[in-house]
Amino acid sequence: MSSIILLRGRTLSFLRWPESIDDHAAWRYEEDGGLLIRDGRIIAAGAYAQVEKQAGEGVEKIDHRPHLLLPGFIDAHGHFPQMQVIASYGAELLDWLNKYTFPEETKFANAQHGRRIARLFLNEMVRHGTTTVAAYCSVHKASAEAFFAESHDRNMLNIAGKVMMDRNAPDGVLDTPQSGYDDSKALIAEWHGKGRQHYAITPRFAITSSPEQLEMAGALCREHPDLHMQTHLSENHAEIAFTQELYPWSRDYTDVYEHYGLLGKRSLFGHCIHLSEREADALSGSGSVAVFCPTSNLFLGSGLFDYQRYRTRDKALRIAAATDVGGGTNYSMLRTMDEGYKVIALNGEKLNPFQSFWQLTRGNAEALSVAEKVGTLDEGTDADIVVLDANATPAMRLRMETVGSLAEELFLLQTLGDDRTVREVYVAGRPAKRDMAA
Ligand code: GUN
Ligand code: ZN
């Protein structure tokens, strides 16, 4: 039997990058909007009065006025096995990995532990309004199985992969070039394209992969050109120096990945903070994506991602934004863009609120090459939707008394908002936050 619901609220969805806060043609906003959803897809969107006419009799109506309905947020980079790493004190990247992260990830050899944490991780995503995440699992095949099983059960569109890492870490989190390849291959066969699941080939970074392993990762990319590839790049100076020692022939850090055929339109590079012009050109030329992780970059003292320079340079970079939990310090993409705004401000630039919300939705969907399915409220796309309340807390309510425009309301949501701001979340048309509370 087909299920059909009609949502009512203030709908906002982007058509392209908003050049300024007056660039109204870049978004579609309906003060009294309607979204008609059948079997998990948006089949009509627009003014409520129009959409209601198409709905017919007996449709379940859910009135979210005066709240905002936006496409569910997209998080382009996070580590599900790091939920118990968040808030680990006082280390920069390489020490943080050795002291906290690698030991924690050894626990994911246990499938039950993986399933429990995958469940709690996706709960947090949904509670914070995120309906799609590009996730790193641990090195263990079982951790990716746990993540995909949990994601599939919820009918979420997620991208994930088993981390490949065969050196410079404790034995409990190492694979080998062959086992990393074989496990990835088996996971691709089992999960990629099952329901809404996407597999990402996931060599952790150059330091923890031998040349043989990066070779194997490149082979996987050639064998599966429709898959994502995700890794870390140019996050921290000590990391860059160590990579240069390990790959002495390379022109720079990016060249290592380039050499093994890992650049491309579906390649997601976390951090990209300290890139040379040559590296930025190489990423741009290949259509690779630089993933901005502001809370993580500040927390680990890694540096300031130069968003506006990358975006506006002659050979522009494709950019996504992400939490990078558990180097990142919050599950919320609102908190993430608030910190992102500050990082961009430290670089002498500003990101206006429409640009921020574009990034969280359509921008990240385009960067992840999934905009045909998610990231907008367009007819024919999947009904992944977040309901936002700018009056969610006393402090927000008070500030709302002086807010006079949609731009100001969005900026307030970003600056003071968090999970309390998220009133409901629809995953493929199902009210997922309410269901979770039940
Ligand atoms: N580089 C390699 N692994 C990681 C990780 O888990 N987190 C972050 N922030 N950087 C990394
Ligand atoms: Zn990361």
CATH class of 4-71+384-437: mainly beta
Residue type, 42: I
Q: Which ligand is nearest to the CA of 327?
A: 1
Instruction: List, as ranges, residues with CB under 5 A of the ion ligand 2.
Output: 270, 324
- Regarding an ipTM greater than 0.90, the answer is yes
DSSP one-letter string for 292-353:
E-HHHHHHTT-----HHHHHHSSSPPEEEE---BTTBS-S-HHHHHHHHHHHHHHTT----H
Domain 73-368 has CATH 3.20.20.140: yes
Ligand 1 centroid–CA 205 distance in Å is 8
Q: Report residue 271 as tokens.
A: 């951090």
Alpha carbon 237 to chain centroid, angstroms? 25
In this structure, the residue with its CA closest to atom 7 of ligand 1 is 327
Of ligand 1's atoms, which has the minimum distance to the CA of residue 293? 9
The per-residue pLDDT for range 38-90, each reduced to its tens digit, is 999 999 999 999 999 999 888 999 999 999 999 999 999 999 999 999 999 99
Helix 333-346 / helix 406-416 crossing angle, nearest 10 deg? 100
Q: C-alpha dihedral over 422, 424, 425, 428, to 10 degrees?
A: -170
Q: What's the CA gap between 131 and 375, in Å, rounded?
A: 9
In this structure, the residue with its CA closest to atom 11 of ligand 1 is 232
For residue 19, count other CB atoms closer than 10 A to its CB: 12
Ligand 1 centroid–CA 401 distance in Å is 42
Q: Where are the domains of the chain?
A: 4-71+384-437, 73-368
Give the CA angle between residues 375, 381, 383 to the nearest 5°: 75
Which of 139, 162, 235, 242, when mutated, tests ligand 1's pocket best, judged by the most ligand atoms within 8 Å of its CB? 235
Q: Which amino acids bring their CB within 6 angstroms of ligand 1?
A: 79, 93, 97, 101, 204-205, 232, 235, 296, 324, 327
Q: Residue 130's beta-bridge partner residues?
A: 73
Which of 101, 104, 302, when mutated, tests ligand 1's pocket best, judged by the most ligand atoms within 8 Å of its CB? 101
Q: Report residue 329 as tokens.
A: 């310090």
**pLDDT recorded at residue 438:** 66
Residue type, 268: L
Q: Residue 326 phi/psi, 5° resolution? A: -100, 5
Of ligand 1's atoms, which has the minimum distance to the CA of residue 327? 9
Model's pTM, two decimal places?
A: 0.98
Ligand 2 centroid–CA 104 distance in Å is 14
**pLDDT recorded at residue 1:** 57
Q: What's the CA gap between 276 and 435, in Å, rounded?
A: 47
Give the closest residue to 197 by CA, choosing from 238, 150, 141, 148: 148
DSSP one-letter string for 8-58:
EEEEEEESS--SSTT-GGGEEEEEEEEEEEETTEEEEEEEHHHHHHHH-TT
Q: What's the CA gap between 230 and 136, in Å, rounded?
A: 8
| Stretches in the chain below the pLDDT threshold 50 | none
Own/partner pairs, 404-409, CB within 8 angstroms, 24+ separation? 406/12, 406/29, 407/21, 407/352, 407/353, 407/354, 408/353, 409/68
Helix (H, G, I), strand (E, B) or coil at 404: coil
Strands 73-79 and 130-136: parallel
